[in-house]
């Protein structure tokens, strides 16, 4: 049977218990299984990560996967941390706080864009892994110049990450946004006839935004606007003299 999740997350640590597969020597390793699952998720999304697909990619029998990872839920946690281990945290120890926090936000937007399936891994046990802890430690440094207490610093990071993940989810739907733009253009004349003079505010604002963004929705415009609001909100928390 597989080791406990905490030991699998820290399997590369010198103090981690060895073993995990039955028999004198396993045909694969936990890392092989995790790497295969990450490759499937990157290529096809989380629904592709089935025991049968992972086993075929590694070259083992389906049920033997559970000798390397305890469950599919554990596998998702291991996958998420493997990606974090392989992604160096943003450099947050130097520069003005706005630049530091911007780097945190941009790094997480990029992470969620490159590995969109990460947005669907909501298991809080991800926080137990070495990749997650290294990332957390590095990102907390971004808020050092703000002079926040420890609890507020943690909350500030959560706030920034929530915004970045939300923006990454919006970008994941960029293709559907483009289709919506085409559909909107095709339907516009008939829609105008149906609406007439109703909903004047929605019509005026929607028309202005669509013209400015050249689309029904612009992920880039939403990102820039939202990030400025995030930074402005954090500045209000800082003691006088540290808000610049």
pLDDT at 79: 98
Q: State the CB neighbour count (10 A cutoff) for residue 33.
A: 29
- All domains of the chain in start order, with CATH: 5-85 (1.10.10.60), 88-237 (1.10.357.10)
Q: What are the average pLDDT values for consecutive 10-residue runs of the chain, which has 244 residues?
A: 90 83 64 98 96 96 94 97 93 91 97 96 97 97 94 97 95 67 78 87 85 75 94 87 62
pLDDT at 24: 41
pLDDT at 175: 59
- Terminus-to-terminus CA distance in the chain, angstroms? 55
Q: State the CB neighbour count (10 A cutoff) for residue 88.
A: 11
pLDDT at 19: 62
pLDDT at 23: 43
| Short-list 80, 140, 153, 139, CA closest to 112 | 80
The DSSP result for 149-187, as a single string, is -HHHHHHHHHHHHHHHHHHHHHHHTHHHHHHHHHHHHHH
pLDDT at 21: 45
């Amino acid at each position: 049977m597989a080791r406990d999740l905490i030991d699998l997350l820290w399997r590369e640590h010198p103090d981690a218990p060895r073993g995990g597969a039955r028999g004198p020597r396993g045909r694969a390793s936990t890392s092989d299984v995790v790497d295969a699952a990450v490759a499937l998720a990157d290529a096809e999304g989380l629904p592709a990560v089935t025991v049968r697909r992972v086993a075929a990619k590694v070259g083992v029998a389906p049920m033997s996967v559970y000798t390397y990872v305890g469950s599919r839920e554990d596998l998702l946690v291991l996958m998420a941390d493997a990606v974090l281990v392989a992604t160096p945290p943003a450099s947050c120890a130097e520069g003005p706080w706005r630049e530091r926090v911007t780097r945190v936000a941009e790094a997480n937007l990029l992470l969620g864009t490159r590995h969109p399936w990460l947005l669907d891994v909501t298991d809080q046990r991800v926080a137990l892994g070495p990749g997650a802890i290294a990332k957390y430690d590095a990102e907390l440094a971004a808020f050092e110049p703000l002079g926040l207490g420890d609890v507020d610093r943690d909350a500030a990071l959560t706030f920034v990450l929530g915004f970045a993940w939300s923006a990454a989810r919006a970008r994941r739907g960029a293709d559907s946004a483009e289709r919506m733009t085409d559909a909107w253009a095709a339907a516009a004349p008939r829609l105008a006839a149906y609406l007439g003079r109703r909903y004047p505010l929605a019509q005026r604002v929607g028309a202005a935004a669509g013209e400015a963004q050249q689309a029904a929705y612009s992920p880039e415009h939403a990102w820039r606007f939202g990030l400025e609001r995030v930074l402005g909100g954090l500045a209000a928390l800082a003691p006088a003299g540290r808000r610049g």
